[in-house]
Amino acid sequence: MTQQESTMTPIVPRFVVDTPPFMHRGYTIASMMRDKIIALVPAAAMAIYMYGIPAARVMALSAGTAVLAEYLWDKILGRKDRLYDLTSLTIGLLFAFLLPAGAPWWLVITGSAFSVILGRQVFGGLGCNPLCPALVGWAAMTVAWPMFMDPMAMTLQTTLVEPLQKIKFFGYASLPEGSELSLFLGQQLGGLGSSQVAAVLLGGLYMCVRKAVRWEIPVAFLASVLLVGGIFWYLAPQIGLNPATTPPPHLYLLTGSTMFAAFFLATDPSSSPVALGGICIYGLLAGSLLVLIRIFGIYLDSAPFAILLASLVTPMCDLVRAAPYGRRK
Amino acid sequence: MDKRFNLSPDGRHPITVLDKVSLVRLPLGEHVQLPTIKKRQRVAGGTLLAQHSSPNVGDMHAPFDGVIKDVTATFIEVEYEALPEPQPPATAEPAEGEAPKAAKAPEKPVEPVSPVSFAGLDAIALGQTLKTLGISIRPFTRPCDLFIINCINPEPGMLYTQELLASYLPVVEAGLAMIQRLNSAPRFVLALPSGSNVTLEGASAYHVPAVYPISLARPLIRAITGNEDTSRVTLVRLHAVFQLGLVAMTGLPLTHTVTTAFGQNFYLPLGTPVSTLLEITGNTPDPGDSVILGGPMRGVAISGLRRGVRKEDDAMAIVKQGSMPDLEDNPCINCGACVAVCPMRLRPNMLSRYAEFHQYEACRKEFIETCIECGMCGYVCPCCRPMQQHFRMAKNHLGLHTFQHVLRQSR
């Protein structure tokens, strides 16, 4: 029954002595990123359908550059690379989705490398980025080469409309009759993937169901856009705004990259708050900024800037916390 | 929620009585062996082997008649050997003697341990007596307004509570009666998984949905009392009540316990080596697996199979290599999964980061002493961070381990 064991014999078999828990949900960073990439597939397919090979070219170039940039950065600094968890690939794809399909190769490469290195690696790599990395690259490129980042200028010979420009300069009534559905299905000029509203929504819902992102963030953000947009729409005549260029709230969701920002950019884990209270503040801030920049700002698609600015107050949002057990007043 | 977190599994899992264990290793822990205990000495079942300096922690006894095979700094090994037949003295009365004496044996005769009577003892004397019989009495004597007996399996994979209530109810009743002598709490409550129809005289039943981590002290107290003030509530596990009941029924020292080992329930002598249980259940761990004592959420991985079962060990299991992602020293990505599941409403993301970078005072400001080490944060962490490791390290640095010790005693 019990064999004689001497203290001198080596312990056989060798066990792994780990710390608890010895159960895991089985959902790791790699699974999370895999789900994000799966969620990007519908929008990518729609982009290729709409813009053809140029869209595929931009996405491939951006994703490849992002992975290479992370690899080289880790190599130069002598760090162990973490390419296996697919985070840099995701950043590259997210950045590509914000670009026009006709973006020149050097812009894609520069922006993608900027996203990974300046957006994340300089802060210490995974989990240390204070802002969404893809947005850092996007902001740098938008400020440096606004011409090449403009979908209007980069997409020639198209029948697609640029709804944001129409709304801002010609009033929302200038949009064709019944254009909501075509906008929803992505019939608009914009970032190659970020303007595919329906496909992005589909992917976003998938991520929420798989818990790759916290569903509270897109809900808080989109609800805030509707709320603040609705207030401005309702009050436009009273506060001296041109009612024609102040669109009804649902148009905020259907135009530009609002939907993409809600599900893919605002939910970047390390630059968004963790608890529900903080998420509500963050969503309200980002939603209000989006509406304000669209109405008063010079940038047409304000969603990326709104997220970027809201991410800056994430540490403050994280101060809002529930009292721990037994400390509720 | 993970269906593995269901703490009230269907079906019967009968408790097998193990009476053929021939060798036990009693882990000493903080117990100090009696100077009279020597190698090759013959002992009767229930003989005192080691004592604990604290009046609240029970002493340690030989689980059966046998010979001391080994005494080391960490354990005492006892091998079963029947006591020599008592030689009836030539002039003795018929062999009905309560305490037979073997006068002609060449060595000093070993007398069987006789039961202690609890009649007429007041609470303090009763506590002292029970300590010498191997019962850790602190949770039972703690003054309180509400005394809860936690009849829910403490962790996933444990199966014994419903069997104890089904097959050993008289023992539990005896344990409850003893608690009522030790503790003057006005209310006694049995916390039962919903669907259970067990009733016990002297305690009201309260049903909760049996999903981990409700089985841990503080979440259960919140579920039952509706508030989070634990200062006047005592909670003990059914496991401890059962052990108290065994002693209360027999008057003999605590020598046996109940354990869910590798998916089966056993009533076994204390100190039964893990290797014996592995053989009985027909399990063989492979290199790279982990063998854990306790539940999968809060247990301890052991490095060898010689380890014997302690009083508080109520489960053991094998964790196969590859059944979960390896723990890694990944950075926190601030995803918030841990914050969402923490039953104590802590921020495990910040706590583990502070601990990781040795900011222990910041851990205190984040209420680390509230952490019950339930393991939920590590379970959901997509970065597979060693959360409990960080928390325990920080608690040790802050000198909170005594607090945790108290917690473990009372769980």
Q: How far is CA A143 from each of CA A131, A165, A194, rounded to the nearest angstrom?
A: 17, 19, 19
CB neighbours of residue A206 within 10 Å: 18
Residue identified by tokens 């010790």 is B405
CA distance B319 to A23: 9
CB neighbours of residue A185 within 10 Å: 15
- Measure CB to CB from residue A322 to each of B291, B317, B345 and give the nearest one: B345
Q: What is the DSSP letter of B407?
A: H
Residue B42 CB-half CA count within 13 A: 12
Same-domain status, A114 and A173: no
The maximal CA–CA distance of chain B, rounded, in angstroms, is: 84
Residue B290: list chain A partners with CB under 8 A.
15-18, 22
- Sign of the alpha-carbon torsion through B1, B2, B5, B8: positive
- Indicate whether A13 belongs to any domain: no
* Structure-token pair, residue B316: 């053991």
User: Exposure string (b/e) for A236-260, b if CB count within 10 Å is 16 or more?
Assistant: beeeeeeeebbbebbbbbbbbbbbb
Residue B87's pLDDT is: 62
- Structure confidence by residue, pLDDT tens digits, B52-71: 988 888 999 999 899 999 99
- Indicate whether A113 belongs to any domain: yes
* Structure-token pair, residue A200: 């992005």
Q: How far is CA A234 from each of CA A251, A253, B153, B362, rounded to the nearest angstrom?
A: 14, 17, 58, 47
Question: Scanning every residue of chain B, which has its alpha carbon at the shortest distance from the alpha carbon of A271?
Answer: B334
- Report the candidate in A143, A253, A144 with the shortest Cα–Cα distance to residue A188: A253
- Structure confidence by residue, pLDDT tens digits, A214-233: 999 999 999 999 999 999 99
Number of domains present in the structure of chain A? 2
Task: Provide the shortest C-alpha distance from residue A324 to chain B (in Å).
Answer: 5
The CATH code belonging to domain B19-80 is 2.40.50.100
* Distance of alpha carbon B351 from the chain centroid: 28
Residue ending a domain, among A107, A126, A151, is A151
- Tell me which residue range forms the domain holding A242: 157-317
Question: For the domain B257-319, what is the CATH superfamily, name and number?
Answer: Beta-grasp domain (3.10.20.30)
Same-domain status, A190 and A78: no
Same-domain status, A50 and A172: no
Residue B149's pLDDT is: 93
Same-domain status, A112 and A174: no
* Structure-token pair, residue A99: 């670009």
- Indicate whether A167 belongs to any domain: yes
CA distance A225 to A216: 14
- Report the candidate in A190, A308, A299, A171 with the shortest Cα–Cα distance to residue A254: A190
Residue ending a domain, among A151, A174, A192, is A151
Same-domain status, A294 and A186: yes
Residue B332: list chain A partners with CB under 8 A.
127
Domain ranges of chain B: 19-80, 123-249, 257-319, 337-410
Same-domain status, A130 and A201: no
Mean pLDDT of the region A70-98: 92
Verify whether the Cβ–Cβ distance A20 to B299 is below 8 Å. Answer: yes
Same-domain status, A136 and A194: no
A/B interface, count of CB pairs below 8 Å: 169
Low-confidence ranges of chain B (pLDDT < 50): 92, 94-95, 97, 101-105, 409-411
- Report the candidate in B268, B290, B288, B286 with the shortest Cα–Cα distance to residue B277: B268
User: Exposure string (b/e) for B56-70, b if CB count within 10 Å is 16 or more?
Assistant: bbbbbbbbbbbebbe
Question: Scanning every residue of chain B, which has its alpha carbon at the shortest distance from the alpha carbon of A120?
Answer: B333
CATH architecture, domain defined by B123-249: 3-Layer(aba) Sandwich (3.40)
Verify whether the Cβ–Cβ distance A15 to B339 is below 8 Å. Answer: no
Same-domain status, A283 and A163: yes
Which residues, 6 or more positions from B164, have their beta carbon under 8 angstroms from its beta carbon? B15, B171, B172, B238, B242, B258
Residue A8's pLDDT is: 53
Same-domain status, A173 and A120: no
Q: B386 with B405: CB under 8 angstroms?
A: no
- State the virtual CA torsion across A259, A261, A267, A271 in degrees, nearest 10: -160
Residue A11's pLDDT is: 55
CA distance B405 to B411: 10
Verify whether the Cβ–Cβ distance A15 to B273 is below 8 Å. Answer: no
- Measure CB to CB from residue A23 to each of B230, B297, B304 and give the nearest one: B297
SS3 call for A11: coil
- Structure confidence by residue, pLDDT tens digits, A107-139: 999 999 999 999 999 998 888 899 999 999 999
Alpha helices in A52-132 (DSSP H): 53-77, 87-98, 105-117
Same-domain status, A146 and A204: no
Question: Scanning every residue of chain B, which has its alpha carbon at the shortest distance from the alpha carbon of A274?
Answer: B336
Q: B273 with B307: CB under 8 angstroms?
A: yes
Verify whether the Cβ–Cβ distance B230 to A324 is below 8 Å. Answer: no
Q: How far is CA A280 from each of CA A218, A223, A277, A288, A312, rounded to the nearest angstrom?
A: 10, 10, 5, 12, 15
Q: B360 with B397: CB under 8 angstroms?
A: yes
Residue B103's pLDDT is: 45
CA distance B206 to B191: 5
Prediction pTM value: 0.86
Residue B104's pLDDT is: 46
CB neighbours of residue A298 within 10 Å: 7
Type of residue numbered B366? E
| A261, pLDDT greater than 90 | yes
- Report the candidate in B215, B252, B226, B238 with the shortest Cα–Cα distance to residue B132: B252
Q: B243 with B268: CB under 8 angstroms?
A: no
Please report the ipTM that was assigned to this predicted complex: 0.86
| B271 torsion bin: left (phi>0), alpha (psi -120 to 50), beta (else) | left
Task: Provide the shortest C-alpha distance from residue A100 to chain B (in Å).
Answer: 30
- Report the candidate in A46, A322, A193 with the shortest Cα–Cα distance to residue B342: A322
- Sign of the alpha-carbon torsion through A108, A112, A118, A119: positive
Cβ burial of A266 (10 Å; 0-12, 13-18, 19+) is buried
Task: Provide the shortest C-alpha distance from residue B332 to chain A (in Å).
Answer: 6
CB neighbours of residue B90 within 10 Å: 7
List residues bridging with B206 in a β-sheet.
B191
Alpha helices in B185-285 (DSSP H): 217-225, 238-250, 274-281
Same-domain status, A143 and A44: yes
Residue ending a domain, among A124, A151, A178, is A151
- Indicate whether A249 belongs to any domain: yes
Phi and psi at residue A65, in whole multiples of 5°?
Answer: -60, -40
DSSP A249-299: HHHHHHSTTHHHIIIIITT-GGGS-SSHHHHHHHHHHHHHHHHHHHHHSS-
Same-domain status, A165 and A311: yes
CA distance A107 to A113: 10
- Report the candidate in B337, B343, B351 with the shortest Cα–Cα distance to residue B388: B351
